Structure 1
């Protein structure tokens, strides 16, 4: 369960040898503060408790997280697992000293990969590595992770806080997580279910999500010399560039599960690194294709800002960023209206972007994006 990486605390002390006194070193003098790690774990406990599902066994602080799979509920359960991180979006969080939103990003990157196959996210374990443990900062990160787990309906049952002095700068940190979900074998979603005539439905992204931030930082701060505190009118509500960049990744897990429950869904595609074409193709069987109509949506304003400021070509933009589409559902043709109604009821902006056809392979992006206004 959540703990620091250290087994016991050391203290500086002196050893007398004849007339000389030799000062020995300790874990703390080497840069690892066990007490700070313990305080960080204690600060995380209230957030973790809010995520606990009935299947969680035991409390917080053991060596392993336990989760009792309800064998009476499932006939032939398949366990699904996924692991991911947030990437260099953390640089923005560290510069702004805002640390809770990236915890939501972390959960989204894991659970929305799980749900692609139809799996319900059950539990998640996280890993936080930092140059120096600051309990308040760790608590903020953990609170964001806990919020993300609540949005996804899964439990945060364990993790690790590792202090790496001399390897990482004191203010630096990195986070990752592994999630586990479950799906009935006969309800497994994927390319083998997709047929010609199926319709692709896009779900709006909340922004950049958590991919491509190395290119974002080069475009906006390397080329554009912009400031994170700059108010950008296109973002609305006096929103700064920093606030927009830290917009948390939308978590689609519950939306997708509800859609699969109510409608005949054949596959999902989580649009992350590789963009729309690079991820949607992973949900298509050989011999079938989708021509995506760019003219059905306008990308979020932040994409235009990144492209214009950095002078980036459209092909590079589309293979790096989601361009406003965070998740795609591929549904039976007679399920389109019902699917859109389910997503609308869940306050997810959704629209059709293309049809699965024979006579080709892969994903083609056609037409021009709608312009704002």
Structure 2
């Protein structure tokens, strides 16, 4: 009897294409280089990203944040648009660390897929690089994982990790907030990256296709609009105005995020008449038959970032910002009922 020979298998036979991974690295190198800062040591391709704090900080505290973009990825895939979802990824991380007054320094990403599509992955990284440029931080590394059997054709997932720094004496932690403070709201660019499981359910219920004209864009464009990055706006204020607290309006919406930075003895009164809710939220609420309470604890409702400042400095803060920042609420003594009351 002749001995049966075992087949000669390769990693590519198992579904992992090393050459495609190398091609992606070559393609994204200039994108990564465009985000560099003087503190970055070395380049893309090492086992770790190197960053030197230098002499800028006297007593630095490092601040880190990690996040993803949730099921907004499925909408990006449905529309065949992969060039803005990376901005969302950066925004969700850097806006979080900005809340305590930190300057974003560097960012790393994790891209996982079943089979690597170099074009789609390159589009994703181009968005990540653009987000890093908007935030002023360096993209110093990341990981691309090709895992056949874990993800279906065309599917991928994203995660990001940001590190920033703030002088210990300048940490903004909400401890100085009192009933003399008001809440200023900075506009969002849309739903940002929260509530997309509900958004996709509303899309299923609605009769309008995603290419339906909506304001100056299409419905799909309005829903996929990348998350606004607030670093440039807030940077103008830090060290120049009396910022008592800040909040990034993410999952939990207006109802749950602003109170996270308040001392326990305080609550909020939010005046919904202070700003106009963008049309995309009106469409979601009407099409999905969603209650006001559910909308407010799921979506940002047009306010993506909140600043808590003394009432007598609100005008000065708005003037320095150079953009509308309406007074959307007041800090009040905490009562026996809901901690957040809507007017």
- Equivalent of residue 275 in structure 1, options 236, 249, 253: 253
| Structure 1 counterpart of 2:318 | 340
Matching of residues 60-99 of structure 1 within 5 Å: 60-70=44-54, 72-99=55-82
User: Which residue, out of 281, 285, 291, partners 1:307?
Assistant: 285
SS of 2:326's equivalent in the other structure is: strand
Equivalent residue for 1:247, pick from 220, 225, 232 = 225
Number of the residue aligned with 2:42 = 58
Distance change (3 Å), C-alpha of 1:230 and 1:124? same
Shift of 1:225: 4.4
Which residue does the alignment assign to 1:112?
Answer: 95
- 1:204-257 deviation digits (Å, cap 9, x = unpaired): 111010000000000122x2244222223xxx22x2111111101100012112
Q: Counterparts of 1:359 and 1:156 in 2: how far apart (Å)?
A: 42
Match of 1:176 in 2: 159
Encode CA deviations 1:287-335: one digit per residue, 9 max, x unaligned: 1122010110111101111111111111111111001100000112221
> How far does residue 199 in structure 1 lie from its aligned partner after superposition?
1.5
Q: 1:135 to 1:359 in 2, by over 3 A?
A: closer
Residues of 2 paired with 1:193 and 1:260: CA distance? 15
Question: How many Å apart are 1:363 and its aligned residue?
Answer: 4.3
Aligned to 1:289: 267
- Residues of 1 paired with 2:334 and 2:279: CA distance? 35
Task: Give the structure 1 partner of residue 212 of structure 2.
Answer: 230
Q: Secondary structure at the match of 1:125?
A: strand
Q: Distance in 1 between matches of 2:169 and 2:303?
A: 28
CA distance in 2 between partners of 1:363 and 1:257 (Å): 30
Distance in 1 of aligned mates of 2:186 and 2:219: 24
Q: Helix, strand or coil: the match of 1:144?
A: helix
- State the Cα distance separating 1:22 from its structure 2 match: 3.9
Structure-1 separation of matches of 2:183 and 2:145: 42
Aligned to 1:160, the other structure's residue is in SS state strand
Q: Does 1:161 align with 2:161?
A: no
TM-aligned CA deviation for residue 113 of structure 1: 0.1
Structure 2 length-normalised TM: 0.96
1:336/1:161 CA distance change after superposition, 3 Å: same
Query: What is the TM-score normalised by the length of structure 1?
Result: 0.88
**Cα distance in 1, alignment partners of residues 335 and 329 from structure 2:** 14
Q: State the secondary structure of the residue aligned to 2:283.
A: helix
Contact 1:294 1:365 in 2 (8 A): no
Q: CA deviation at 1:27?
A: 1.0
- Structure 2: unaligned runs, 5 residues or longer: none
**SS state of the match for residue 220, structure 1?**
helix
Q: Which moved more, 1:251-260 or 1:36-45?
A: 251-260
- Aligned with 1:40 (options 9, 24, 34): 24
Cα RMSD, aligned residues only: 1.6
Corresponding residue of 2:295 = 317
What is the CA distance between 1:353 and its match in structure 2?
1.0
How far residue 121 of structure 1 moved from its aligned partner, in angstroms, is 0.4
> Structure 2: how far apart are the matches of 1:154 and 1:102?
17
- Report the count of equivalent residues: 342
